[in-house]
């Protein structure tokens, strides 16, 4: 077993202060003695919509140069939403994250079944709004089916890109 850093720590939303860019973060993780780096796929780190092919190659090369494996990419997703447009957007997002994992040489794409998310208030992340109401109380009986359908689709994409899907399942 190896112990790695999850880049969400330095995205600039859990503390007052600027985010650390993903390239500087690779160097910092190595300096701090971590054995791997899991990349959060939200801005400003490894959002697939922001990383060009050149950025991805530069990031992969830097990690290899530092001897620090990029062990996973991690989209914060809700694959169980009863809202078809939202669920389809999440599937598209995770598909792009799977492709990113492949391009970066990360063997894992860590997903959520149903992630409530956070909101930003005064520059800081908070769960106050997303846990303040029961967004998962409706359609409860159907959500499992929505999740299974999403996973069937994404499993094929992951298999085609030689990436393993791993599920972290925070509440609900």
| Residue 126: per-residue pLDDT | 85
User: Taking the domains of the chain in order of start, what are their residue ranges?
Assistant: 5-168
List of long-range contacts for 120-127, beta carbons under 8 Å, 24+ apart: 120/13, 123/12, 123/13, 123/16, 124/13, 124/14, 124/15, 124/16, 125/13, 125/14
> Is the pLDDT confidence value at 36 over 80?
yes
Calculate mean pLDDT across residues 44-54.
94
Q: Kindly report the pTM of this predicted structure.
A: 0.92
For 127-168, the DSSP string reads: STTTSSS-TTSTTHHHHHHHHHHHHHHHHHHHHHTT-EEEEE
Name the CATH architecture for the domain at 5-168. Alpha-Beta Barrel (3.20)
Distance CA 123, CA 108 (A): 30
Calculate mean pLDDT across residues 73-89.
94
| Residue 130: per-residue pLDDT | 77
3-state secondary structure of 37: strand
Calculate mean pLDDT across residues 139-164.
92
| Residue 138: per-residue pLDDT | 62
Cα dihedral 157, 158, 159, 165 in deg (nearest 10): -140
Mean per-residue pLDDT of the chain = 92
Task: Answer positive or negative: Cα dihedral of 30, 33, 39, 42.
Answer: negative
């Amino acid at each position: 077993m190896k112990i790695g850093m999850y880049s969400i720590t330095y995205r600039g939303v859990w503390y007052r202060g600027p985010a650390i860019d993903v390239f500087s973060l690779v160097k910092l993780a190595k300096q701090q003695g971590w054995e791997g780096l899991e990349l959060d796929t939200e801005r400003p780190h490894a959002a697939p919509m922001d990383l060009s092919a050149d950025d991805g190659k530069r990031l992969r090369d830097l990690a290899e140069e530092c001897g620090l494996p990029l062990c996973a990419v991690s989209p914060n997703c809700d694959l169980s939403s009863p809202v078809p447009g939202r669920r389809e957007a999440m599937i598209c997002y995770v598909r792009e994250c799977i492709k990113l994992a492949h391009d970066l040489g990360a063997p894992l794409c860590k997903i959520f079944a149903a992630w409530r998310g956070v909101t930003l208030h005064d520059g800081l992340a908070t769960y106050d709004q997303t846990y303040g109401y029961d967004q998962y109380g409706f359609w409860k009986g159907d959500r499992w089916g929505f999740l299974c359908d999403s996973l069937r689709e994404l499993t094929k994409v992951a298999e085609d890109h030689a990436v393993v899907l791993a599920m972290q399942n925070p509440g609900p």
